[in-house]
Amino acid sequence: MDKPDLQDQDLPLTAHLAELRTRILISLAATAIGFIISYAFIRQLFDLLASPLYRILPPEGHIIFTSYPEAFFTYLKVAFVSGAFLASPVILYQAWAFVAPGLYPHERRLALPVVIFASFAFLIGASFGYFVFLPAAAGFLAKFASQWLRLMPSMQEYVSLALRLLFAFGLAFELPVVLTILGHAGIIGPDQLKRFRRYAFVLAFVVSAVLTPTPDAVNQLLLAGPLYFLYELSIFLVKIFGKRGQPPSHEA
């Protein structure tokens, strides 16, 4: 039977804590380097993030900041998120190097495909939020402008909203990854997921209503639709990669 690295298991707790400290310091250093690089291009990064908003602003429209430190701290937030993204390969490697010796060989073989799949799913979700949902949501909210009402969005509020939405979409697209892992572990099976379909459909709209900043049905459908599609994709993946020999689940 496969076993974890026994040599690593024999190390005292202080050695594990010292290694963890080293891994964390390396990750923080990589994030700091990513932050410095990002801040050197902060205006370009902000313009990239605000591009969906720029497209719907009228010719005389502007993004504003309402206090002296607002622009500075908003730039810091964008640079930090960008820096963490640039450092993510180093952070993932440090996390892997710390936990890998304690894993069984078959678990180590499974980890790399899972990390690649999860990273790919997160990027697709964030990209969907950026290219599809953000422009649609910004366009809907801009329709409230009139002769007497001018849209003058605050840069801090927009960046907070945009980053929150991109992160939410990235996490939402992790659904197939989580369910496939649970299926591979034998915790759930495709029959159980099929029986839960009707609830998944309703839950997709509930999650969409909570996460979307607009009350209109079109924007809620832009999130609920992909969520339900991802649930159906999860059923397919669990059927392929799920644990074999599971007893069929029966309805109560």
Q: Parse the chain into domains and list their residue ranges.
A: 14-241
Q: Is the pLDDT of residue 247 over 50?
A: no
Region 3-29: what's the mean pLDDT? 78
Confidence of residue 219 (pLDDT cuts 50, 70, 90): confident
Confidence of residue 252 (pLDDT cuts 50, 70, 90): very low
User: What's the mean pLDDT when you consider all of the chain?
Assistant: 86
Widest distance between CA atoms in the chain: 74
Confidence of residue 9 (pLDDT cuts 50, 70, 90): low
Which bin fits 245, alpha (ψ -120 to 50), beta or left (φ > 0)? Answer: left
Q: Is the pLDDT of residue 26 over 90?
A: yes
Q: What is the pLDDT of residues 106-126, one digit of tens each?
A: 778 888 888 889 999 999 999
| pLDDT score at 244 | 62
Q: How far apart are CA 159 and CA 223, in angstroms?
A: 20
Rg of the Cα trace of the chain? 22
Q: How far apart are CA 7 and CA 50, in angstroms?
A: 51
Over the range 187-202, which residues count as b (16 or more CB within 10 Å of their CB) and which as e? ebbbbbbeeeeeebee
| pLDDT score at 28 | 97
Lowest mean pLDDT across 22-31, 70-79, 121-130, 177-186: 177-186
Cβ contacts of 219 within 8 Å, gap of 6 or more: 133, 136, 137, 140, 212
Region 169-175: what's the mean pLDDT? 92
Q: How far apart are CA 227 and CA 205, in angstroms?
A: 9
Of residues 134 and 218, the one with the higher pLDDT is: 134
pTM score of the predicted model:
0.82
- State percent of the chain over pLDDT 70: 90
Q: How far apart are CA 92 and CA 115, in angstroms?
A: 9
| pLDDT score at 143 | 78
Of residues 51 and 149, the one with the higher pLDDT is: 51
Token pair, residue 85, equals: 């993204």
CA distances for 216 relative to 78, 134, 209, 237, angstroms: 28, 14, 9, 32
